[in-house]
Amino acid sequence: MANNILSVPKFERFVAGFENSLVYIGLDVHKRSWSVALLRPDGEVADLTMPPEPHTLIQMLQSLPVTVGMIAQEAGPTGYGLARALQCAGLPITVAAPSRIPRPVSPTNKTDRLDCRKLAEFAASSLLRPIAIPSEHEEAFRILVRRRHQLTDGLRRCKQRIRGLLLINSAIEPDHLDHWSKAAIEQLHQLELAPATRQTLNSHLRELAFLIEEQQSIDKQIKAQAITCGQQNRIERLKTADGVGHVVASTFAAELFHPERFNRPEQVAAYLGLAPMVRESGGKHDRGRLRPVGQKRLRSLLIEAAWIWRAKDEQAKAFYDRLLSRSSIPQKAIAALARKLAIKLWRLSLDPATA
């Protein structure tokens, strides 16, 4: 490494004469190394590269005779362990979503050294919008819930492969295969096929059985972990809404942790990607498509739940029909109903003692 942790005295010399001044730190975090930049009040920046060791970074920053105004880090695959360690050490940390970090219009050079310097400058200019940092239990619960969705995707692909195999071999699908009942799966085992095709189908059926069993196991673990991490009461409150079952409720609780961080319903809708983008130019005003942000899975689940809510609740159906009569676009009407459902779930997820 060009500038490793042994060059920490460089930072000490760099801040000499700026004792007790406010400095800003930028971190570009990777699996094998971290790039650290320190921005002085006069606008000068020094940087170094160090091993990925939180305690070493904390000791280094705490040993400097300056006040850390803010530490900026870009969210990424390394998770939130470093951010939590900095918080526990009493150091201010901002984790910013990559999509919300200012980017140059035209292509420019990109290195770890430049990235950490830019983060320090953005932190000093208050140009970064922080995202919520989950606790260790909250992050573990969210990972478990997302694993459940991975298994659901795997099940869907496995079923598609089975149906594709039957189609390409001109085999007749068993009755009730749309519901994948035990009887239909048993009929798949009894189909007369060529030996190699039979072996392929058997392999798919073993994969299907594994995925079903694994999903059931994960469902049990989610319920147990909900109790352990204090989410059980919140999930039960969410399930009182029409159209919301355990999957939607647990996903909402996992993805929308710390619901009290939202001050207005509009913020919740924007976070979930259910807020339409507003375009206004030359006196023309248009509310277009939904804002393309994260939370695609939860947004999809909320739209599915909105269809069920519409079928069960007359007021929800009237709301949907009223919007449909205006736009004549079912997707817009159901997205608006899903937005209404999301806001309802946000209010239910708030602690009754503080709501």
Q: Which DSSP string corresponds to 100-167?
A: GS---SS-----HHHHHHHHHHHHHTT---B-----HHHHHHHHHHHHHHHHHHHHHHHHHHHHHHHH
pLDDT number for residue 353: 63
Question: What are the start-end ranges of the H helices in the chain?
Answer: 9-14, 54-63, 81-88, 112-124, 136-168, 182-190, 195-228, 232-238, 246-255, 265-271, 296-312, 314-327, 330-349
pLDDT number for residue 331: 92
- Local mean pLDDT, 10-residue blocks, the chain (355 residues): 56 92 96 96 95 94 95 95 97 94 86 95 95 94 97 97 96 91 94 95 98 97 94 95 96 95 93 81 65 82 97 96 93 94 96 66
Residues in the chain: 355
C-alpha to C-alpha distance for 60 and 122, rounded to whole angstroms = 22
Of 183, 157, 187, give the one whose Cα is nearest residue 172: 187
Q: What is the pTM of this model?
A: 0.88
C-alpha to C-alpha distance for 213 and 219, rounded to whole angstroms = 10
Three-state secondary structure call for residue 73: strand
pLDDT number for residue 261: 92
